[in-house]
Structure 1
Amino acid sequence: MSPVSLSRRRLALVAAGLLVCLIIVLLSSRDESTVRASALLDQLESAQWRDAGAPATVDDEDQEGEQAAAAAAAAWSPAAAAPCRRRIEVGVIFTKADQHPKMKTNLVTNHAIAPMADQMKSLIEVMQEHFAPRKGTYYNDVLFFLTTTMHRSLPRLKRVIMMDVDISVRADLALLDDHFERFSPENVMGLSLELSPVYRHVLEAHRRETGNLTAGGAPPAGFPGLNSGVVLLDLARMRASRRYNQLMTEHEIRRRTARYRFKGHLGDQDLYTLLALDEPELFYVLPCGWNRQLCTFWRSVYADVFDQYFRCPGSISIYHGNCKATIPTEGERRA
């Protein structure tokens, strides 16, 4: 089974369950970009990595209009002959009720974004103010803030793997799910480091005024920020973490953005980067090979240090074509 590339914008996988790992794919349908819908559905129906005895979980009313939702299947590119270790359920999240699709497959469960966003409306509005350019722009959509409060809006789930959909998966995602077991007791989520100097730029005023060159600095001495192209969310821990929930308030977000002179434009990853500056113990650092970002936008701005951020040694399991970067074909490797 060959790797699958995604050309839509944001997606998520969700892992939860007691005896088995339940994986759900959450996907925005608001983009016009196309994917190989029929091939993706074929993968779902015939994949060897699915428990053949897994029960159907989709309601009868969710049974039509497969094209918009079919891209959800593209989350995985599992090994062709790998034994099944997970029960897989696919779910789809949509930003608008009139775009809510109905799937002709028993592997898909649909979720509407509006009820999830409404639960945390005031908090999301504060995050949009500080971590999105302006109303109507791409990252101002509530979709890009749902991960921050998903522990409240999806109370029955234990774990979520959230992914952007401009990716190409090159490894068994069960291996990604295994990283949950490597969390320290304090970790509530896992993300890879940002592989560009974007937060060096965002934090420039703070760096200049305070002399704190660690903030936004290149690794290993600096902290370049976090990238939410792939996010492992332990929802149970997020619900139980007193510290995380203390930080998720309007007052605390305003206080920290003021302290760091922080005006972001990349949605939830801005918040996670901001929190990690003072609370690194909340975050597990996922190896860069699970979110090998390819964006080179900042190379022309920070040519002298860009490669210090961009390097990612080792094997690549997920390529992330952010900034509309070209993802290598199968067999290629982008340095």
Structure 2
Amino acid sequence: MMKKEYSLNKKEVTEIPLEPGADGNARVVVISPKYSEDLFYIGPFYGYEFTSIKRLIMVDADVILKEDLKYLQKYFDEMTSDEIIGVTLDMTGYYSHIASFLVEIGKSRNTKYILTDDPEKMRGLNTGVVLYNLEKIGESREMSMAVEY
């Protein structure tokens, strides 16, 4: 269900033309096909499958670790009772372009695709390192309802 709702389900790059910019130059949003891969949609299910593991740190294969993972471990203890997954904001600007596109296309269709005006939140999330509190995921009523949807 999640993949159906949130993925373009394509194996090639998707280019979506936009209206020309203020300077008259053509603009286009480019969406990578990588976001159609299953690995981007299975994370919420880890808490139901790995029931003997309480906490999980997932790290992309291309991430170079320069510190001991124990420094990441402390962030689990800083999570509130409602926080079950930890990620960081994207620093590349890639997702802010997509968010801008969705805001723009939403205005033309009188639909709100982005449910925030907060520029920090519109930056997107970097999932190269993800902290999963599997114990909380398994116990979360909201997560259970979302997964069942």
Compute the TM-score of the two structures, normalised by the length of structure 2: 0.67
Counterpart secondary structure, 1:169: coil
Relative to structure 1, is the Cα distance of residues 162 and 204 closer, same or farther in structure 2, using a 3 angstrom cutoff? same
Relative to structure 1, is the Cα distance of residues 135 and 152 closer, same or farther in structure 2, using a 3 angstrom cutoff? farther
Name the residue aligned to 1:118: none
Please point out which of 20, 27, 52 is paired with 1:156: 52
- How is 1:13-92 mapped onto 2 (pairs within 5 angstroms)? none
Name the residue aligned to 2:125: 226
- Please state if 1:214 is matched with 2:90: no
Name the residue aligned to 1:112: none
Name the residue aligned to 2:89: 193
1:236 shift after superposition: 0.7
Name the residue aligned to 1:316: none
1:193 shift after superposition: 0.6
In percent, how many aligned pairs have the same letter?
24
Name the residue aligned to 2:65: 169
1:148 shift after superposition: 1.9
Counterpart secondary structure, 1:160: strand
- Name the aligned partner's letter for residue 6 of structure 2: H
- Name the aligned partner's letter for residue 214 of structure 1: D
Q: Relative contact order (C-alpha < 8 Å, sep 6+): which is higher?
A: 2
Distance 1:205 1:140 in 2: 19
Counterpart secondary structure, 2:86: strand
Compute the TM-score of the two structures, normalised by the length of structure 1: 0.33
Does the aligned pair in 2 maintain the 1:128–1:140 contact within 8 Å? no
Distance 2:49 2:116 in 1: 37
Please point out which of 99, 102, 105 is paired with 1:203: 99
Query: Superposition RMSD on alpha carbons, in Å?
Result: 2.7
1:203 shift after superposition: 2.6
Name the residue aligned to 1:134: 10
Does the aligned pair in 2 maintain the 1:206–1:212 contact within 8 Å? no
Counterpart secondary structure, 1:214: coil
Does the aligned pair in 2 maintain the 1:207–1:213 contact within 8 Å? no
Which 5+ residue runs of structure 2 have no aligned equivalent?
A: 13-32
Does the aligned pair in 1 maintain the 2:85–2:133 contact within 8 Å? yes
Counterpart secondary structure, 1:228: strand
Name the residue aligned to 1:19: none
Name the residue aligned to 1:237: 136
Relative to structure 1, is the Cα distance of residues 212 and 162 closer, same or farther in structure 2, using a 3 angstrom cutoff? closer
1:170 shift after superposition: 0.7
1:232 shift after superposition: 0.3
Distance 2:40 2:99 in 1: 21
Counterpart secondary structure, 2:67: coil
Distance 2:116 2:83 in 1: 25
Which 5+ residue runs of structure 1 have no aligned equivalent?
A: 1-122, 251-335
Relative to structure 1, is the Cα distance of residues 200 and 139 closer, same or farther in structure 2, using a 3 angstrom cutoff? closer
